[in-house]
Amino acid sequence: RAKTAGRAQWVVFDPEMRAAALERIELERQLTGALEAGQLRLVYQPVVDLATERVVGFEALLRWHHPVLGPIGPDRFVPVAEDSGLIVPIGRWVLAEATRTAARWQRAHPRDTPLSMAVNVSARQLAGGTLLGHVTEALSASGIPPSSLVLEVTETALVTDRSAVAARLAELRALGTRLALDDFGTGYSSLSWLRQFDVDVLKIDRSFVSLLDGSPDDAAIVHGLVQLGRTLRLEVVAEGVETAAQRDRLRAERCDLAQGYLFAQPLEEPDAELLLADSDAAAPRAPA
Q: Which of 9, 265 has the CB closer to ligand C2E? A: 265
Q: How buried is 199 (Cβ within 10 angstroms: 0-12 exposed, 13-18 middle, 19+ buried)?
A: buried
- Considering only residues 34 to 93 of the shown chain, the ones binding ligand C2E according to CB under 6 A are 45, 61-62, 73-75, 78, 87
Q: Which of 120, 279 has the CB closer to ligand C2E? A: 120
Q: Choose, by CB under 6 A, the member of 27, 103, 153, 183 that binds ligand C2E.
A: 183
Q: Which of 177, 282 has the CB closer to Mg ion? A: 177
Q: How far is the CB of 78 from Mg ion (least distance, A)?
A: 9
Instruction: Give how far Cα 249 sits from Cα of 118, 214, 240, 242, Å.
Output: 25, 12, 14, 12
Phi/psi of residue 284, nearest 5 degrees: -65, 135
- Considering only residues 178 to 217 of the shown chain, the ones binding Mg ion according to CB under 5 A are 182-183
- Considering only residues 90 to 149 of the shown chain, the ones binding ligand C2E according to CB under 6 A are 94, 120-122
* CA–CA separation, 144 and 140 (whole Å): 8
What single string gives the DSSP state of each residue in 159-217? -S-HHHHHHHHHHHHHTT-EEEEEEETSSS-HHHHHHHS--SEEEE-HHHHGGGGS-HH
Piece of 12-20, 127-135, 225-233, 239-247 that binds ligand C2E (CB under 6 A):
239-247
Strand, helix or coil for residue 130: coil
Q: How far is the CB of 12 from Mg ion (least distance, A)?
A: 30
Find all residues with CB under 8 Å of 116, minimum gap 6, and list them: 47, 56, 57, 58, 102, 148, 149, 150, 178
Q: How buried is 271 (Cβ within 10 angstroms: 0-12 exposed, 13-18 middle, 19+ buried)?
A: middle
Q: How far is the CB of 23 from ligand C2E (least distance, A)?
A: 17
Largest CA distance in the chain: 85
| Contact status: 122 vs Mg ion (CB under 5 A) | no
Q: How far is the CB of 71 from ligand C2E (least distance, A)?
A: 10
* CA–CA separation, 201 and 241 (whole Å): 17
> What mask, x for binding ligand C2E by CB under 6 A, covers residues 256 to 285?
---xxx----x-------------------
Q: How far is the CB of 278 from ligand C2E (least distance, A)?
A: 19
Size of residue set near Mg ion by CB under 5 A:
5
Q: Indicate which of Mg ion, ligand C2E, none lies near residue 222 (CB less than 5 to 8 Å, by partner kind).
A: none
Q: Which of 10, 261 has the CB closer to ligand C2E? A: 261
Q: Which of 58, 281 has the CB closer to ligand C2E? A: 58
Q: Indicate which of Mg ion, ligand C2E, none lies near residue 237 (CB less than 5 to 8 Å, by partner kind).
A: none
Phi/psi of residue 29, nearest 5 degrees: -60, -45
Instruction: Give how far Cα 271 sits from Cα of 27, 58, 123, 268, Å.
Output: 29, 12, 31, 5
Residues of this chain that interact with Mg ion (CB under 5 A) are 120, 152, 182-183, 239
Residues near ligand C2E (CB under 6 A) are: 45, 61-62, 73-75, 78, 87, 94, 120-122, 152, 182-183, 206, 239-242, 259-261, 266
